[in-house]
Amino acid sequence: PGTAQHGGIFDDTSLRLHRTKHEQFVRDAMHGLSSGFSVLDASQPWLAFWSLNSLDIMGRTIDSATRTRALQTVLRFQDPRGGFCGGQHQLPHLAGTYASVMALVLVGGDDAFASINRERMYEWLMTMKREDGAFAVHEGGEVDVRGVYCVLVVASLLNIMTAELVSGVAEFVARCQTCEGGLGPYPGVEAHGGYTLCALAALEIIGSTHVLDLKRLARWMSARQMAFEGGFSGRTNKLVDGCYSYWVGGAFSILQRALSRTPQDDLLYERRALQRYVLACCQDTRIGGLRDKPGKSADLYHTMYGLLGLSLAQHYVGVDPQTRISDTTSVYSVPARMMQWDVVASAADVVGVSSNVVKPVHPVYGVSLVPLAKCIKYFYALPPLAPSL
C-alpha cells in the first residue's frame, strides 16, 4: 500500500536484481572459502547445491569445467553402503543425500545419473525407516519431516519408490500438524515454515495432501507474511527472514494445488510484496549475494532460497485442477503428477525492471523445470523396483 502504484511514496518500478554481482559472489565461493567455513565441513554437498542452483535460477551457464569439478566433488561423498555423506569419511546422511542428488540433477547428463547406485541407495534408505513411518536422518540420528522429504524427493527422482518405503509416511506427517495449523518437525512440536514445506512437498509426492486440515494450514501460512516488510517469518512471533521466501512461498504453491485453486484465484499471499522484500532488503549490492535481512551478511544458503522465493513469486507454477492426475497407486503416477506442474505465462507478475525475471522452478523440488524433466526421463526409462505403491 505504500508504493507509488497505490498513492504512496515508494517507487518499486526501478528495483533491480543485481544478477552479475550475485553470480560473482557464487563463483567466488566455488573457487574457495575461508577457514571460517570449516563449520560447514559436514554440509559440503549443500555448498555445491546452493551454488549450482543459484546460477541456474539466474540463467547463468554451468560451464564444462564447473560441471566436471562439481561431479567429481559430489561423487566423492557417495558411500559404498548407499546414500551420500556430508563430507568424506563421514556417515551417509539423508540431508547430504538430498543435496548431492539435487546437485547431480543440476549437473545433468547420463554419466552423472548413472553414477548413482540406485539399489544401494534404496537398501540404505530402508535401513533409516522407522515403524512410525518416519526416517532417521542417519544411523542413530534424529527423526523429523526433513528426513521424510529428503527420502521421497530422492526416491521419486531415482525411480525407487515402493509401498514399503512410503508405508506410514502420510500418517506420520499428519500427526505433525499443530493446533496452529502449520507443521512441526515431529508430533507435538511448534509449527515451522521449513518443516511445513517439507511436509507438504512430501505429501504432494505421494498424492496425500488431503490428510491435512488444509484450511487451518492456510490460515497459519497466511499469518507468516509480515504486513510491513512483505517477507515471511518462519514461526509465530518471529522476525522476517529471506530464506522463508521459499520455505513458506513454495508451500503456498503446493497448497494452491491441494485446495484445487486456479491461476484466476491467484496465490494466498501478496506476491509483489514478497518480491519487493527480496529485491529491496535481501540483496547485498556491494559484494553480491542475498541475505536474511538488512544488517546481516549474504551467504549461499540465503542466496539460493531467496532466488527460489523470488522465482515462485514472479511465476505462477501450478497444476490445472481440471486435468490433474489423481492416481497414486502406480510408480509411474509419481513422475506423471510431478511433471504436470507447469508455468502459466499469463499469470506472471514481475516487480521492478523487466530484466529481473529469473527461471521458473518446481515448488516441490526447488529446481528449474528442464533439468528436473531430464532427470525424471532418464530414471523412469529404467525398470522400477516395484510395479505399484
List, by residue number, the catalytic residues. 192, 235, 238, 241, 243-244, 292, 299, 302
- The set of residues, in sequence order, having a beta carbon less than 8 Å from that of 286 and lying 6+ positions away, is none
**How far is the C-alpha of 270 from the C-alpha of 231, rounded, in Å?**
9
Q: What is the DSSP letter of 154?
A: H
Q: Which three cell numbers stand for residue 65?
A: 569445467
- Measured CA to CA, the distance from residue 243 to residue 241 in angstroms comes to 6
- Listed residue (27, 149, 38) closest to 86, CA to CA: 38
Phi first, then psi, for residue 317 (nearest 5°) are -110, 115
Calpha distance 95→149 (Å, rounded): 9
Distance from C-alpha of 118 to C-alpha of 330, rounded to nearest angstrom: 19
Per the CB < 8 A criterion, the answer to whether 255 and 217 are in contact is yes
In angstroms, the first-to-last Cα distance of the chain is: 49
The Cα 319–Cα 77 span in angstroms is 36
Neighbours of 313 (CB within 10 A): 28
Give φ, ψ of 130 to 5 degrees: -115, 165
DSSP run (H or E) holding 377: helix 369-379
Coil, strand or helix at 198: helix
Amino acid at 171: E
